[in-house]
Amino acid sequence: MTAKVWRERVTYTAMSLFVAWHTLAMVVAPAPDTSDLIKGLRTVLDPYLHFFKLDNQWNFFAPDVGEEGRDPIGVILRYVIKDDAGTLHRFDPDAGLNWFRPSSIWFHDWYRALLENPDDFGEEFAALFCRQHAELHPVAITLFAAGQKEYGPLDRLRGKQPLDPEFVNVAPVKSFECPP
Amino acid sequence: MSALGISARAGRKAFAAAEQAWSRLWFQERPTTPLELVRIGIGAALLLHYLSASSYLLEFWGDAGLLPRALALRDSDPWMQSVFFYFTAPWQWIAFDALFLFCCAAFTAGWRTDWVKWIVLIGHISFVYRNTYLVYGVDKILAAVLLILCLAPVGRAISLDRVRAVRRIKRARLDAVLPPYTGRWAGACTRLMQIQMAVLFFYSGTTKLLGDQWWHGDALWLVFSSEEYYNGLLLDLFARHYWLVNVATYSTVLIELAYPFLIWQRATRPYLLAAAILLHVQFAVLMGLFYFSFVMIMGHLSFVRIEWLRRLGTAWKRAIGDMEMIYDGKCGFCVRSMVWFLAFDGLQQIRVRDFRKNPSPVVSDAQMEKALYLVLPDGRALPGFEAYRYAVLRVPGLWWQIPLFYVPVFSRLIGHPIYNWVAGNRSWLSSILLSRRRS
């Protein structure tokens, strides 16, 4: 057999092995970790999946629209700044984000990360928000998680809004002193 | 024949049939055109997205920003690598970002695609792993699609690389034709992209079946009443006609579940493709997920059949009609310009005629001494700048020049004198080119 034929065969085999491997990776990556077979395959595939960021679930808005089943709809960041006269000022940073700017998604994700990890990011964000509202002469800031509760079509017809107090569960997350 | 012989023969037959089926599934000779459409769309989306990220580079992805390196590394493993983990000074972030953006632009245009595509992949994964808190669906889809594009022989069609290849052979002979690229690996990578999209829809649909909100048909109401995707107009409509929420919710699940099964068949593919694209157009318009939706639509384009593109090309050529460009074959500068011009004519809509060897029945030699001419299907002949202007709008490969040729008043005001000057000095320009080539 000529070298050319051998080369073609080796190339064909290598291509076949690769497409089989990559297809397996694509199918196994989002599969639930409930069976021993999937767990075993993951052990082999994980380095490949992680290195190329293929370890994705593809579970958009699923199984529920809300985050991790905690709140029926979602949770947003809210903060209250106390100025040097003792007056409290409430802010909903998510409300100011513009759909048409890609940064809106990054900021939204950051706020969510902050609510999930207040010990890691709380201080940086508190300082950032205090700086943003320097004209208020802030002395302290408290972060809150506002969980959106069920808001139905009848509420809409009654003229209510999704962020009206009766549809929001507000819980304090952490308080910080504003840097001087 | 012995039983052993019979079973060996049957085994060989079965193996040959399996190998044939495997080859038909994966390794059919195919052009890269559908993947090139994906490349152009994904490249443009990445370029715009990361251009807007540049102003937040150090704040979101830098060590002195909101996520210090130690925190970023805390939740990663050795396989989750980012070039940003190895940088120490802000100028390194900025230099890499500039290189990455340049490669995104080159990837979109298909310039030196063989290597820029890898820098695009490395850059995207580096952004993703440096700050995983900012990662959402589209970043994951992009990583999956980009890897396949990197493995594929993209850049062989609808690209500057193709223009360079065509130009190379046309420099030897102006009427030479470079056949379109086809390859078995291109077929395999197209199939991988299609499977990726089908798997994505399959899991997206099946995970929804695990949630009550989707079963009860309320999911879309909850989406649009959330702060993140709030849409007041739509909520007003839905509140009055709640059945629309049910229809939209069930339709979403139905499309996502049907897609991975019915997209493969010849008869059902156009409908599933149209439904999936329509679904993503709605995500873009109603939820503001422009980037995500655009990237998904680009992924779906891997299912575009090559026959559809051919038919589209033929219909376009028929609608525009034949064009003949008449040029001066004795003028080296003119020939060189024609080579460049024709290299962008991927559909081969323009025929060429050297009036020195083959005089035109429509345009006299005296006219040709002054300018090149474009003869239109209706027999009209446009000279010089007007010839280029006409062709630019009708040859898809030249559409990138439309902004230059179609600025009202300004294009003609500047274009005519420039063309006339070049045409009047073409002998001198040719001699400069010739002497440069000799030296």
- Whether residue A59 and residue B203 make contact (CB cut-off 8 A), yes or no, is yes
Best to test chain B binding among A13, A53, A76, A150 (most B CBs inside 10 Å): A53
Collect all residues of chain A within an 8 Å Cβ-Cβ radius of residue B81. 51
Q: Which pLDDT belongs to residue B224?
A: 93
| Among the partner residues B66, B133, B239, nearest to A156 by beta-carbon distance | B239
**Are residues B293 and B283 in contact, defined by beta-carbon separation less than 8 angstroms?**
yes
Residue B389 is predicted with a pLDDT of: 94
A100 chain-B contacts, CB cut-off 8 A: 288, 290
Q: Which of B80, B188, B214 sits opposite A50 (nearest CB)?
A: B80
**pLDDT tens digit string along A41-76?**
999 999 999 999 999 989 888 888 876 555 567 888
Per-residue model confidence (pLDDT) at position A62: 84
Q: Is there a contact between A94 and B199 if contact means CB atoms under 8 Å apart?
A: no
User: Which residue type is seen at B141?
Assistant: I
Extract the tokens encoding A8: 């073609």
Whether the CB-CB separation of B151 and B189 falls below 8 Å is answered with yes
- Contact list in B for residue A61 (CB cut-off 8 A) is 208, 219, 223
Which residues on chain A are in Cβ contact (under 8 Å) with B246? none
Q: Which two tokens stand for residue B46?
A: 């990445």
Residue among B207, B239, B291 minimizing CB distance to A62 = B207
Predicted local distance difference test score (pLDDT) of residue B248: 96
Looking only at the bridges linking them, the beta strands covering A88-91 and A74-83 are antiparallel
Structure tokens belonging to residue B74: 């805390």
Nearest to B144 among A56, A62, A74 (CB): A56
Contact check, Cβ <8 Å, A16/B195: no
Half-sphere exposure of residue B96: CA atoms within 13 angstroms, side-chain side? 22
Cβ atoms < 10 Å from Cβ of A30: 20
3-state secondary structure chain B: CCHHHHHHHHHHHHHHHHHHHHHHHHCCCECCHHHHHHHHHHHHHHHHHHHHHHHHHHHHHCCCCCCCHHHHHHCCCCCCCCHHHHCCCHHHHHHHHHHHHHHHHHHHHCCCHHHHHHHHHHHHHHHHHHCHHHCCHHHHHHHHHHHHHHHCCCCCCCCHHHHHHHHHHHHHCCCCCCCCCCEHHHHHHHHHHHHHHHHHHHHHHHHHCCCHHHHCCCHHHHHHHCCCCCCHHHHHHHHHCCHHHHHHHHHHHHHHHHHHHHCCCCCCHHHHHHHHHHHHHHHHHHHCCHHHHHHHHHHHHHHCCHHHHHHHHHHHHHHHCCEEEEECCCCHHHHHHHHHHHHCCCCCCEEEEECCCCCCCCCCHHHHHHCCEEECCCCCEEEHHHHHHHHHHHCHHHHHHHHHHCCCCHHHHHHHHHHHHHHHCHHHHHHHHHHHHHC
Count chain A–chain B contacts defined by CB atoms under 8 A.
Answer: 163
Residues of A with Cβ-Cβ distance to B140 under 8 angstroms:
53, 56, 58
Residue B200's closest chain A neighbor by CA? A58
Q: Quick check: B140 and A72 CB within 8 A?
A: no
Q: Please report residues of B whose CB lies closer than 8 A to that of A110.
A: 60, 66, 133-134
pLDDT at B75: 82
Q: What residue in A sits closest to B147 (Cα-Cα)?
A: A52
Q: Which helix (H) or strand (E) holds A60?
A: none
Question: Which residues, at least 6 apart from B243, have a Cβ–Cβ distance to it below 8 Å?
Answer: none
pLDDT band of A1, cuts 50, 70, 90: low
CA nearest B373: which of B363, B335, B340? Answer: B363
The overall longest dimension of chain B from CA atoms, in Å, is 89
* Residue B2 confidence (pLDDT): 80
ipTM summary value: 0.91
Q: How far, CA to CA in Å, does B333 sit from each of B88, B362, B427, B430? A: 50, 24, 8, 5
Residue B362 phi, psi dihedral angles, 5° rounding: -95, -40
Q: Which of A45, A58, A77, A97 to mutate to test the interface with B (most CBs of B within 10 A)?
A: A58
**Are B192 and A19 inside 8 Å of each other by CB?**
yes
Task: Find which of A11, A33, A73, A100 to mutate to test the B interface (most B CBs within 10 Å of its CB).
Answer: A73
- Judge: B136–A99 Cβ closer than 8 Å, yes or no: no
Q: What is the pLDDT of residue A40?
A: 94
B-proximal residues of A, 25-54, CB under 8 Å: 26-27, 30-31, 46-47, 50-54
Pairing of strands B350-354, B323-327: parallel
Q: Residue A52 and residue B422: Cα distance in Å, rounded? A: 51
Q: What is the model's pLDDT at position A72?
A: 61
End-to-end alpha carbon distance in chain A: 82
Q: What is the pLDDT of residue B431?
A: 78
pLDDT, residue B435, reads: 75
Contact B203, B152 (CB under 8 A): no
Residue by residue, pLDDT tens for chain B (439 residues) are: 688 888 888 999 999 999 999 999 999 999 999 999 999 999 999 999 999 999 999 999 999 888 889 989 988 889 999 999 999 999 999 999 999 999 999 999 999 999 999 999 999 999 999 999 999 899 999 999 999 999 999 999 999 999 999 999 998 888 889 999 999 999 999 999 999 999 999 999 999 999 999 999 999 999 999 888 889 999 999 999 999 999 999 999 999 999 999 999 999 999 999 999 999 999 999 999 999 999 999 999 999 999 999 999 999 999 999 899 999 888 888 888 899 989 999 999 999 999 989 998 988 888 888 889 999 988 899 998 999 999 999 999 999 999 999 998 888 999 999 988 888 888 787 777 777 766 6
Helix (H/G/I), strand (E/B), else coil: A148 = strand
Contacts of B199 in chain A (CB under 8 A): 26-27, 30, 58
**Is residue B113 a contact partner of residue B155, using CB atoms and an 8 Å limit?**
yes
Distance between CA atoms of residues B375 and B367, nearest Å: 13
pTM of the model: 0.92
CB contact under 8 A, B71 and A120: yes
